[in-house]
């Protein structure tokens, strides 16, 4: 850190190329903003992935409401659609895209949990860690497949069947664009039509710069075009301190070797043991547990015991604009989130109503990370962060919000 | 042999026995049967003919994409339009395809990043279904999902691009010549395709390290027992001793490849692969076997060098297992250095060395080229737009060289990736191993299998396999011509032998002896005047000649 808060080693960031939207992406924009695809006629993709809220949820409810009468509660907090253009496929352990062999089956034993400190992220990528994919549980790999989820989910857009959605697309004011791109015969293939419509949405997300502008104050700081305030500078140091908050162990903050801006996630899964959110109707059922990789939304790994309770680490870009944190939306403010990291082990009664890790069945509580700082402390020990340090980290997190204008 | 070729051979002098020194080895001065003094084979990955040319020469031309309109008089190709298979395709009507049954459909330029399909030896035979070519969704349409921005759909294996995506290839076809009847010599993926384009033979495999037994239907593997006590390679495996190879599965091939024959004749040649120079460091800091390049289209950093694509590494006579560097740029293509010692590179180089050698005026007679993997066109980690960039960059470069006047570029592909193609060739290389399924259980073709490396009939070479694109770009290429002569990967070997080696053949059961001739794509009588075509590597559109 330079004394004036500037970056002593400015870098050049390689941002995604910007070009006029293709015809495909323009079609995707129409689909993205079309509420007529939902049973209520009121919800579009953009209702929950609001462009004015970093493509995350507007308002401060833990989860969004959907269904025909907009009375049904979604199962999980709405993730942002930003910065997914480099999201890797779901895998366990190191993946090898060039291999033409059939991918190895999941290991029977389970994960070897490597301690995750900033300096050994590479080593951890070599061990058997679940990583990548989309949704909180990584259950699909492409933006196209992701878009199908909310569209058909009865708790969300509730679009009904593939045939039904295709019928709505045929009647849409932008229907002629399908024929232009795919030929008139596309209207006879409901499956194909929906696949193309959702690919178009994905293409909109890939092409439109608003999904990945990399225009935060932090990006400007990396490039030597902005200076941290003293609080931001202290927060940045704490964020990176392997013995302190250790945020950067999972929320990677450095540009990669290709000059691509940091995504503030290692794309890996973690079991953090966040508290149960009693505001969710589904949680009134004492036997209901959201186990992330092990379901219920994900159905192909329900018996992968070592991974039960693990959720995908999200980007922290634009995190200060959110009002629903973690998969169950249990927290509304960054202060609450930082308190969770601070007190989960040292003052757990401040975090949990009755018992620690109350949102996991007893058999899976051992999957919770108790190794990596700041989760390596015992009950009664000093919390890793002071109140001022929490405020400093939050000041730093605010530098991750897009739309920063460098001073003239 | 055509009458014309016979005349050329008659006019050619016997190349004198060579000491192998740079002076004695011939570059542009070798006696050749045709005016071609430099042959450059850019070997792409994983494309079927219909995947790139199904609707040639008619593109959809949606807004804001590179526009393609065919020149008047463009000949028709054996694609999906002429065969009336765009609608009511048997892959839609055959209920065995289940929910993935589909008609062919256009892939848009924005869908350049797709999933990879299944292209194993047995799966491809099953998809061709005794020549009916109606089980692609069931057997080869089982790919990875592709990257986060990739397109996926039921029956994606039926997708094809047109001139709005593979724009440069369509334009080269308009100005030069291509074949619509080119096949892989055998079914299966990359490594068999790599061996056949240099040796025409996949029998004679020796496992140096292996975790596998011979392939069965239940337990796939990369080799089968050939029925004569030997082994035939049918799927991908790394070359033995290459420092970048997987340590647990490595093989060598017996027999000769065309590099051995070129060495005997003192003709300069090389295998040039992206990523081969382990001492180089890319802009992202990667080096050695792990050198990578980031592609925004597939949104990942892809390793440049893939050992199981390296044609010549499978033979102890032409391998360079340590990736030793040539002594100098002037040594490239030569067996011996200026001081008479054996050059450490042994004809194996990096793609950058090809550009350096040609720029220095040291253009080898025969050059096999492989782009770094992100540009090789293989679905899943590469794509047609990155591939186009590599092709156009190469063609633009060579067109500026003084040697262009007697150069031919062959664009060929190692396998089809399993992508749908409607044209099934009758098996003329039968095989009756348990994993052969083309014409029923344990059956590919009929009669007796062809002789293998040891001269006796061997299993594991079921072919011709899948139809792949094949283009010839040269001043001597016919203009806007489509050849329908049946050719295969080994036809490249045959051309080299006919042009430089007086028609000498490899023997040992190589397909070079039976492969069709690519001569129909050239006009050596009145040709030599096809104008250069300079394209934009990004769009494939013409740019003003420099």
Q: Which residues pair with B209 in a beta bridge?
A: B250
Distance from CA of A96 to the nearest CA of B (A): 9
Residue B365 tokens read as 């007679």
**Chain A hits for B63, Cβ within 8 Å:** 23, 180
Q: Which residue of B has its CA nearest to A181?
A: B62
Judge: B149–A206 Cβ closer than 8 Å, yes or no.
yes
User: What ipTM does this complex have?
Assistant: 0.84
Beta-carbon contacts of residue B23 (< 8 Å; ≥ 6 apart): none
Residues of B in contact with A89 (CB under 8 A): 144-145, 147-148
Q: Which two tokens stand for residue B519?
A: 């001569």
| Residue B477 contacts residue B470 (beta carbons within 8 Å) | no
Give φ, ψ of A270 to 5 degrees.
Answer: -140, 145
Q: Which helix (H) or strand (E) holds A178?
A: helix A176-182
Residues pairing with B342 in the sheet? B336
pLDDT band, very low/low/confident/very high, at B381 (cuts 50, 70, 90): very high
pLDDT at B11 (0 to 100)? 39
Q: How far apart are CA A295 and CA B150, in angstroms?
A: 25
Q: Has residue A97 got a pLDDT over 80?
A: no
Q: Mean pLDDT throughout A394-402?
A: 98
- Summarize the confidence of residues B213-233 as an average pLDDT: 96
Question: Distance between alpha carbon A39 and the CA centroid of its chain, in Å?
Answer: 26
A341-361 pLDDT, tens per residue?
A: 999 999 999 999 999 999 999
User: Does B285 sit within 8 Å of A87, measured CB to CB?
Assistant: no
Structure tokens at B487: 């050719």
Per-residue pLDDT at A94? 52
Give the distance from residue B525's alpha carbon to the nearest chain A alpha carbon, in angstroms: 44
Render pLDDT for A85-96 as a digit per residue (tens, 0 to 9): 999 999 987 534
pLDDT for the residue numbered B41: 98
Residues 210-269 of A with CB under 8 A from B: 256-260
Residues of chain B positioned with their CB less than 8 A from the CB of A260: 294
Kindly report, residue by residue over B11-60, the tens digit of the pLDDT.
333 333 333 444 445 454 579 999 999 999 999 999 999 999 999 999 99
Mean pLDDT computed over A214-233:
97
What is residue B536's three-state secondary structure?
coil
To the nearest whole number, what is the mean pLDDT of chain A? 91
Which chain A residue shows the shortest CA-CA distance from B376?
Answer: A98
- Mean per-residue pLDDT for B94-99? 93
What confidence score (pLDDT) does residue B147 get?
A: 81
Give the closest-approach CA distance of B519 to chain A in angstroms. 34
Q: What are phi and psi of B538, to 5 degrees?
A: -85, -45
Give which of B120, B58, B46 is closest to B382, Cα–Cα.
Answer: B46
- Tally of CB atoms within 10 A around B127: 32
Q: Do B153 and A141 touch (CB under 8 A)?
A: no
Whether residue B57 is preceded by a cis peptide bond, meaning omega within 30 degrees of 0, is yes
Computed over every residue of chain B, the mean pLDDT equals 93
Secondary structure class of B98 (helix, strand, coil): helix
**A23 falls in which pLDDT band (50, 70, 90)?**
very high
Structure tokens, B297:
């289209």
Cα–Cα dist A128/B513, whole Å: 50
**A379 within 8 A of A348, measured Cβ to Cβ:** yes
* Minimum-distance CB partner of A20 among B64, B151, B373: B64
Predicted pLDDT at A98: 45
Number of CB pairs, chain A paired with chain B, less than 8 A apart: 118
A161 at B interface, C-beta within 8 A: no
pLDDT band of residue A127 (cuts 50, 70, 90) is low
Contact of B42 with B409, CB cutoff 8 Å: yes
Cβ proximity of B340 and B242 under 8 Å? no
- Residue A329 backbone phi and psi in degrees, to 5: 65, 30
- Give pLDDT tens digits for B383-441: 999 999 999 999 999 999 999 999 999 999 999 999 999 999 999 999 999 999 999 99
In this prediction, residue B48 carries a pLDDT of: 98
**Pairing relation of β-strands B182-183 and B366-370?**
unpaired
Query: Could you give the CA distance from residue B287 to residue A83 in angstroms, rounded to a whole number?
Result: 28
Q: Is the pLDDT of residue A105 over 90?
A: no
Residues 6+ apart with CB under 8 A from A335: A390, A394
pTM of the model: 0.88
Instruction: Check whether A397 has a pLDDT greater than 50.
Output: yes
Contacting residues of B for A196, CB less than 8 Å apart: 153
Give B460 or B150, the one with higher predicted confidence: B460
The pLDDT value recorded for residue A180 is 87
In this complex, which of A22, A87, A97 lies closest to B381 when CB atoms are compared? A97
Tell whether A105 is within 8 A of chain B (Cβ): no
Whether the per-residue pLDDT at A126 is higher than 70: the answer is no
Mean pLDDT of the region B469-478? 98
Residue found by looking up tokens 């589909």 in the block = B102
Place of tokens 């797709």: B114
Q: What is the spatial distance between Cα A360 and Cα B267, in angstroms, rounded to a whole number? A: 71
Least confident of A121-135, A180-194, A215-229, B492-506: A121-135
**Backbone phi and psi for residue A36, each to the nearest 5 degrees, phi listed first:** -70, -10
Name the residue among B269, B275, B384, B278 with its Cα closest to residue B332.
Answer: B269
What whole-number distance in Å separates Cα of residue A235 and Cα of residue B110? Answer: 41
Mean pLDDT of A302-317: 96
pLDDT in tens, B106-149: 999 999 998 889 999 999 999 999 999 999 999 998 666 778 88
**CA–CA distances in Å: residue A138 to residues A92, A212, B379:** 11, 20, 22
B110–A22 C-beta distance less than 8 A: yes
Q: Please judge whether B153 and A182 are an interchain contact, meaning their C-beta atoms are less than 8 angstroms apart.
A: no
Gap from A360 CA to chain B (nearest CA, Å): 30
* A41 at interface of B, judged by CB pairs closer than 8 A: no
| Helix pair angle (A334-343, A387-398), 10° resolution | 130
CA dihedral A218, A220, A224, A230 (to 10 degrees): -40
Give me the residue from A98, A206, A256 closest to B373, CB to CB.
A98
**Is residue A144 less than 8 Å (CB to CB) from chain B?**
yes
Report the largest interatomic distance among the alpha carbons of chain B, rounded to a whole angstrom.
Answer: 68
Q: In degrees to the nearest 10, what's the CA dihedral of B232, B236, B241, B245?
A: -170
**Residue to test with chain B: of A22, A31, A98, A261, most B Cβ within 10 A:** A98
Question: Using one digit for the tens of pLDDT, what is the confidence trace for A137-184?
Answer: 999 999 999 999 999 999 999 999 999 999 999 999 999 999 988 888
Asked if B294's CB is within 8 angstroms of A203's CB, the reply is no
Give percent of chain B above pLDDT 90: 87
Q: Best mutation site among A82, A89, A94, A100 for testing chain B: the one with the most B CBs within 10 Å?
A: A100
CB B513 within 8 A of CB B498: no
pLDDT at A112 (0 to 100): 36
Give the per-residue pLDDT at B24: 45
pLDDT above 70 as % of chain B: 94
Whether residue B210 contacts residue B498, with contact meaning beta carbons closer than 8 Å, is answered with no
For A246-297, write each residue's pLDDT tens digit: 999 999 999 998 899 999 999 999 999 999 999 999 999 999 999 999 999 9
């Amino acid at each position: 850190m330079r004394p004036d808060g500037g970056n002593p080693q400015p870098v050049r960031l390689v941002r995604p190329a910007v070009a006029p939207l293709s015809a495909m992406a323009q079609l995707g924009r129409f689909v993205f903003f079309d509420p007529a695809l939902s049973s209520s006629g009121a919800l579009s993709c953009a209702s929950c992935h609001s462009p004015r809220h970093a493509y995350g949820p507007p308002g401060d409810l833990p989860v969004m409401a959907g269904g025909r009468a907009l009375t049904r509660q979604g199962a999980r907090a709405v993730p942002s659609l930003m910065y997914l253009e480099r999201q890797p496929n779901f895998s366990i352990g190191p993946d090898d895209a060039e291999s033409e062999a059939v991918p190895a089956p999941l290991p029977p034993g389970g994960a070897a949990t490597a301690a995750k400190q900033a300096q050994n992220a590479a080593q951890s990528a070599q061990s058997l860690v679940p990583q990548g994919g989309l949704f909180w549980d990584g259950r699909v790999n492409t933006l196209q497949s992701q878009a199908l989820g909310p569209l058909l989910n009865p708790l969300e857009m509730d679009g009904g069947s593939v045939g039904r959605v295709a019928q709505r697309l045929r009647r849409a004011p932008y229907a002629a664009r399908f024929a232009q791109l795919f030929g008139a015969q596309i209207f006879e293939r409901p499956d194909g039509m929906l696949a193309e419509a959702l690919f178009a949405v994905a293409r909109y997300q890939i092409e439109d710069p608003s999904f990945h502008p990399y225009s935060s104050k932090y990006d400007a700081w990396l490039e030597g075009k902005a200076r941290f305030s003293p609080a931001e500078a202290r927060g940045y140091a704490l964020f990176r301190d392997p013995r302190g908050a250790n945020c950067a162990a999972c929320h990677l903050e450095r540009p990669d070797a290709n000059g691509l801006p940091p995504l503030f996630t290692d794309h890996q899964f973690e079991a953090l043991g966040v508290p149960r959110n009693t505001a969710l109707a589904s949680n009134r059922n004492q036997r209901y547990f959201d186990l992330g990789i092990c379901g219920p939304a994900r159905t192909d790994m329900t018996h992968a015991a070592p991974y039960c309770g693990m959720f995908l680490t999200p980007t922290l870009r634009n995190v200060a604009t959110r009002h629903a944190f973690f998969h169950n939306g249990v927290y509304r403010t960054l202060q609450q989130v930082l308190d969770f990291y601070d007190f989960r082990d040292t003052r757990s009664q401040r975090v949990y109503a009755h018992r620690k890790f109350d949102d996991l069945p007893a058999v899976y509580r051992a999957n919770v990370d108790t190794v990596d700082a700041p989760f390596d402390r015992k009950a009664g020990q000093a919390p890793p962060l002071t109140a001022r340090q929490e405020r400093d980290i939050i000041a730093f997190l605010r530098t991750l919000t897009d739309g920063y204008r460098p001073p003239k | 042999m055509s009458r014309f070729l016979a005349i050329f051979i008659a006019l050619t002098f016997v190349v004198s026995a060579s000491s192998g020194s740079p002076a004695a080895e011939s570059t542009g001065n070798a006696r050749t049967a045709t005016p071609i003094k430099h042959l450059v084979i850019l070997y792409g990955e994983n494309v079927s003919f219909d995947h790139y040319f199904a609707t040639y020469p008619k593109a959809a031309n949606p807004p804001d994409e590179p526009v393609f309109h065919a020149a008047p008089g463009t000949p028709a190709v054996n694609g999906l339009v002429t065969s009336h298979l765009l609608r009511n395709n048997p892959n839609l009507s055959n209920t065995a395809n289940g929910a993935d049954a589909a008609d062919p459909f256009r892939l848009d330029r924005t869908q350049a990043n797709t999933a990879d399909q299944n292209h194993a030896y047995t799966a491809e035979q099953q998809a061709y279904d005794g020549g009916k070519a109606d089980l692609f969704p069931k057997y080869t349409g089982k790919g990875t999902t592709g990257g986060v921005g990739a397109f996926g759909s039921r029956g994606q294996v039926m997708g094809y691009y047109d001139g709005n995506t593979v724009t440069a290839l369509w334009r080269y076809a308009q100005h030069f010549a291509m074949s619509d009847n080119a096949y892989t010599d055998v079914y299966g993926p990359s490594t068999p395709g790599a061996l056949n384009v240099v040796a025409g033979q996949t029998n004679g495999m020796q496992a140096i390290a292996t975790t596998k037994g011979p392939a069965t239907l239940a337990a796939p593997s990369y080799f089968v027992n050939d029925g004569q006590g030997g082994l035939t390679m049918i799927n991908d495996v790394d070359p033995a001793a290459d420092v970048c190879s997987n340590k647990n599965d490595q093989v060598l091939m017996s027999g000769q490849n065309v590099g051995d024959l070129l060495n005997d004749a003192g003709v300069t040649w090389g295998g040039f692969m992206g990523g081969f120079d382990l001492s180089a460091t890319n802009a992202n800091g990667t080096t050695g076997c792990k050198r990578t390049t980031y592609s925004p289209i597939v949104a990942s950093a892809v390793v440049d060098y893939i050992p199981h694509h390296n044609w010549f590494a499978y033979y102890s006579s032409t391998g360079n297992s340590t990736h030793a560097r040539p002594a100098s740029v002037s040594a490239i293509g030569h067996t011996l250095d200026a001081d008479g010692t054996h050059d450490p590179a042994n004809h194996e180089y990096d793609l950058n060395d090809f550009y350096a050698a040609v720029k220095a005026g040291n253009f080898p007679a025969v050059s096999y080229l492989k782009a770094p993997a992100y540009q090789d066109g293989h679905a899943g980690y590469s794509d047609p737009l990155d591939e186009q960039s590599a092709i156009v960059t190469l063609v633009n470069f060579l067109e500026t060289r003084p040697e262009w006047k007697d150069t031919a570029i062959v664009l060929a592909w190692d396998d089809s990736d399993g992508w749908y193609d409607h044209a099934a060739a009758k098996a003329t290389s039968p095989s009756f191993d348990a994993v052969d399924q083309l014409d029923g259980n344990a059956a590919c073709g009929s009669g007796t299998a062809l002789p293998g490396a040891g001269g006796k009939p061997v299993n594991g070479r079921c072919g011709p396999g899948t139809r792949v694109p094949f283009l010839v770009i040269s001043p001597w290429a016919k203009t806007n011509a489509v050849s329908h002569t049946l050719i295969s990967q080994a036809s490249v070997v045959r051309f080299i032998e006919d042009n430089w080696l007086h028609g000498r053949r490899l023997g040992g059961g190589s397909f070079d002896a039976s492969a069709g001739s690519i001569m129909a794509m050239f006009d050596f009588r009145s040709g030599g005047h096809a104008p250069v075509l300079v394209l934009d590597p990004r769009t494939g559109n013409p740019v003003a000649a420099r």
